[in-house]
Amino acid sequence: MWTPTSWQTKTIEQQAEYSNQAELDDVISELSELPPLVSAQEVQKLRQLTAQAAKGEVFLLQGGDCAESFADCHQASISRKLQLMQQMSLLLMYGLGRPVVRVGRMAGQYAKPRSAHTETIDGTSLPSYRGDLINSAEFCAVKRQPDPSRLLKGYSLASLTLNFIRTTSPEVFQKLCQAQQWDSRQILGEQPSAFAETLNKVQKSFQLMHQLSPSHWQPLQEFYTCHEALHLHYEQALTRNIDQQWFNLSTHMPWVGMRTAKPDSAHIEYLRGIENPIAIKIGPRMTERWLCGIIEQLNPINAPGKITLITRLGHQQVAKKLPELIKLMQRQDYAVTWCCDPMHGNTQIAQNGIKTRHFSHISSELQQTVSLHQQHASVLGGVHLELTGEMVTECVGGHCAIQEKDLKTGYTSLVDPRLNPAQAIELSLNLMKAFEN
């Protein structure tokens, strides 16, 4: 029988080892009593929207940091991220002709899976950084120890972030989308000149819409959250029973990564009991049996909107792997919503040893994904990006022409490289073009 704690009887991957179990238990019981962060109605609404995305009626824009950091929980940086996602939404609504649903990797994207247990610098080995929910990124023996009090801090900062998002009014959103706001970010100068023309057209359409009915801005205010459901104690503590159903009320849409998605694993056991829409990350190593196994466990009644498949196959493998996956889902008649993460299959190490991604590879995977779905009578329902509102230099390429030698100058990501606003807007324009073709 499923309960919010039944995952504890299963094999679990990617867990921090806490030295003080009693302190962890205290924190979990405290968290279990605290108010939820999102509502069951909102979760159900997003599940409906996810079902609509599978039919091409709406488009999901998922985006945010690879790893949110406690230190970045600032009014200015949250505003800039919201502004960027609003602007991308406007472009995509115009280009795709569908409403865009924003789902931030925000307000809880604090736990990270890691490929190595330890990190070694100059002969000293310490436990890997696992996200601010668990330990500190600082390379210090004491700060790398998992600290249960971080779960409470993560909960508090997630709630502050969400509160700020919710208090942003439609008028503010509307202002964020005005022309001068785009100019001030120096994004225009970094885009091809055709961009100014497109932007002009987009703004004219929205002005017209606004004159017809100011309430048209209202849907743009809707904002949902997602994070990787990795730290199961945290997820369990925020799992609540509402009208005889269980919901994870720490986020609207939790996802599971392949490192923790084995059939019958603790993470799949936890996720199978909740009503939230669930996303599954799919890399090139995913097998047909494995994928069908977890879909059967997570969605035994094949309900639409329940499962989103986020493919992250890499620009070189997508053409071979994606058609196999699409055909498999069609053969099985599984109701799934397709989303493309063009970031994680394209990570590479630059010559100076820094983790980066090439804009051309990211854009290529996204464009190939759009046309592969079209060729196979399938629907791409969304995109999943790592991005920030700050002008960072983490991914190379794009019209802003970041080169490997620039990576050191503005690299603040704690884990994976993110698109800066200029690159994120350029990618949105490329996505619009791919849909037009």
416 belongs to the binding site for Mn ion (CB under 5 A):
yes
3-class DSSP state of 201:
helix
33 assigned ligand-binding residue: no
- Residue 346 CA: distances (Å) to CA of 10, 320, 370: 32, 15, 17
* Least gap, CB of 66 to ligand PEP (angstroms): 5
Which lies closer to Mn ion via its Cβ, residue 52 or residue 69?
69
416 assigned ligand-binding residue: yes
**Burial level of 273, CB count in 10 A (0-12/13-18/19+)?**
middle
* Least gap, CB of 289 to ligand PEP (angstroms): 20
Residue with the shortest CB distance to ligand PEP: 257
105 assigned ligand-binding residue: yes
Q: Kindly state the tokens that stand for 28.
A: 């979990």
Q: Kindly state the tokens that stand for 264.
A: 């019958």
Which lies closer to Mn ion via its Cβ, residue 148 or residue 257?
257
66 belongs to the binding site for Mn ion (CB under 5 A):
yes
DSSP strands (E only) in 341-434: 347-349, 355-357, 380-386
Which lies closer to ligand PEP via its Cβ, residue 4 or residue 257?
257
Which lies closer to Mn ion via its Cβ, residue 132 or residue 416?
416
**Burial level of 64, CB count in 10 A (0-12/13-18/19+)?**
buried
Angle at 430 between CA 414 and CA 187, to 5 degrees: 60
Segment contacting Mn ion by CB under 5 A, of 62-70, 148-156, 159-167, 184-192 = 62-70
281 assigned ligand-binding residue: yes
Which lies closer to Mn ion via its Cβ, residue 43 or residue 66?
66
Paired strand residues for 34: none
312 assigned ligand-binding residue: yes
373 assigned ligand-binding residue: no
Q: Kindly state the tokens that stand for 245.
A: 């159903």
Task: Please say whether the beta carbons of 383 and 340 come within 8 A.
Answer: yes
Q: Which does 113 bind (CB under 5 to 8 A by kind): ligand PEP, Mn ion, none?
A: ligand PEP
Task: Calculate the CA 346 to chain-centre distance.
Answer: 16
Which lies closer to Mn ion via its Cβ, residue 66 or residue 88?
66
Residues near ligand PEP (CB under 6 A) = 66, 113, 257-258, 281, 312, 344, 416
Q: Which does 233 bind (CB under 5 to 8 A by kind): Mn ion, ligand PEP, none?
A: none
Separation between Cα atoms, residue 319 and residue 321, nearest integer Å: 6
Residues that bind Mn ion (CB under 5 A): 66, 416
Binding annotation for Mn(2+)? 66, 344, 386, 416
Binding annotation for phosphoenolpyruvate? 105, 281, 312
